[in-house]
Structure 1
């Protein structure tokens, strides 16, 4: 083989290998933007792993889905999304679709269908909801940590121009999912640790107030969610 051709071929292979490594890195780093949760956690009986002394739920029994506020700091929005994902009550006349809707209301239109699938994977299916309803089951989340994962920072630094939306950020959240209900006539509570990543886009925009009161505010929308218990680290 001609030495010039050999050098060109080696250069091409090196370039392809480097490109593949970059694609793999970006694919791993932002998998939540490309691939939502594909499994659903089975709905356990309220009698499983019963514990006592769990913190009280943040909302009163019977309260319906609470709107997610899209204006504010990205970390605050990530917290609101996380709490909306895990806070529900089978006794108030609402169902999984109602709890999913408050998150859909703050989802980016470009990822609406995929994000809707992500959200459904976090909520009980209608069949599971029907099983939980007789036990008067309700659920909520206590958050321990909210951090930007190192894998996201690496992915952002390696991403090509325009590969990620302006203002995109990821937060990995750890905490405890609590459930309470009844089993027969006995009150029962359960708790399990959870971890997941929320992908957002937050951009500044002017408030709707007339001048001179109008100011720049941060508006956020949800892009995607990682699989439950499979977050970016």
Structure 2
């Protein structure tokens, strides 16, 4: 019986990114599962904003909305950017330290917050006027968090670099986002654990694509030759 050979590098394709992400997810499952739990717990306070949107605008509700908005802008991005870095380490087979998910509060904090605000504003601006520009911007700026954390780039430089890196990959990124829909549906069939695994796989797939393009931006068929 022939054993399936483990891939050492992802291909810069939809199938290659998801396949490599699937391989690495099981290789570092406990680390990645804990990261997903931390991100999930960190996102839970944002439900306060949604719960108070449709109630009477009392002083208490307004204060809760302001606190939730501040949390979403000044705290949550740091956790998410840290998670992206750790997922990239899993893709690269690098040493992972869970506490690094909080490193953004000590280092790069301003760059993370400003990069997140700039990306959100650009994508939001695109969606306000026409849906298509918003989708294009969302696809082309998908690597901003990786560039801030991995390359220590400042916000504007990260946005410009992401735009450059994703040139020629826009449809592929859009396809990966669409493919995430059936992945999530499949996860829902297995309830809570299934949806967590689905979200882990999707995040890792984008990290794999970033790694593939970053390793050799001129080669769409990166794969181990040994």
TM-score calculated relative to the size of structure 1: 0.27
- The structure that is helix-richer by fraction is 2
- The structure that is strand-richer by fraction is 1
Higher gyration radius (CA): 1
